[in-house]
Each structure stands twice: as structure tokens, then as C-alpha cells.
Amino acid sequence: MRLLADLFLLIGAAFALLSALGLLRMPDTYNRIQAGTKAVTLGALSFILGIGLLYPEWWAKLLVIAGFILFTNPVGSSSIARAIHLAGIQSWQRAASDPQALKAPQEDKSA
């Protein structure tokens, strides 16, 4: 049981790391949100599952936390996306002629 719990905690940490990496590597806000939301949601659920295995008496509260995370995380992401969309910021496009465009985005409005 202890081993399984540690495994889930490790998976959660790995997805949190991936999401942080995604925030660094993605070129604009929309794509950063894409990387951030998904990985953090599953990472947090994995954390909660791991903690639930370590402390089975906490399952009820953990279930409530998981429910709130599942519901509020995408809402928050969509709100940010909607705000920058209404502000008129376009999504980053890969320049067809320049495969190295990623390393030097012409104009990083999202920063």
C-alpha cells in the first residue's frame, strides 16, 4: 500500500514538473494554458489518490477537494483564455518558412 501511494505521489510530481516545463517551453499564453491546465489537473488528482492511500480516513474530504479541482481548474483556464481573446491577442503561428521561429518569436505579446 505504501509503495502504491508513493507511486501515485511520484506520478503527481512528474506531471507537475511537466506542466512547469510546458509553461517555459510554449510560445504563447493559449498554449501555456493548454500545457498548464491538463497536466496540473491530472497531477493534483494523482497526488490526492496517493494521499488517500496513505491516510484512508481522509477519503471524504479528499473526494471534495478532487471535485473542486476538477470543476474550477478548467473554468480558471478558460477565463484567462477568454480575457486574452477579448483583448485581441492572436494565437502564435509557426512561420512556415522558418522552422527555427520557435527560438525567436517575432513579437511576444503574451509576456
Partner 1 sequence: MDNISREPPLTLPHYLFIFATVYLLWLLLVGELSRHELILGGLVSLVVTLVSAPHLLIFGGVKLRIDAPLHLLRYLGYFFVALIRANLDMARRILSPSLPINPSMVAVETGLRSTLGRLMLANSITLTPGTLSVDVKGNRILVHWVDASPGVDLEAATREIAAGFERHLGGFLR
Residues within window 46-85 making contact with partner 1, judged by CB under 8 A? 57-58, 60-61, 63-64, 71, 73-75, 77-78, 81-82, 85
- Find the part of the chain contacting partner 1 (CB under 8 A) among 2-10, 13-21, 48-56: 13-21
Which CB, 5 or 84, lies closer to partner 1? 84
CA 48 and chain centroid, separation: 16
CA 75 → CA 41, 78, 79, distances in Å?
Answer: 12, 5, 6
Q: Which of 79, 78, 80, 52 is nearest to 65 (CA)?
A: 52
Place of cell 517555459: 24
Q: What is the 3-state secondary structure (H, E, C) of 73-96?
A: HHHHHHHHHHHHHHCCCCCCCCCC
CA distance linking residue 27 with residue 13, whole number of Å: 23
- Find the part of the chain contacting partner 1 (CB under 8 A) among 1-9, 34-42, 48-56: 34-42
Least separation in angstroms between residue 46's CB and partner 1 is 10
Least separation in angstroms between residue 71's CB and partner 1 is 7
Q: Which residues bind partner 1 (CB under 8 A)?
A: 15, 18, 21-22, 25-28, 30-31, 33-35, 37-39, 41-42, 57-58, 60-61, 63-64, 71, 73-75, 77-78, 81-82, 85-86, 91-94, 102
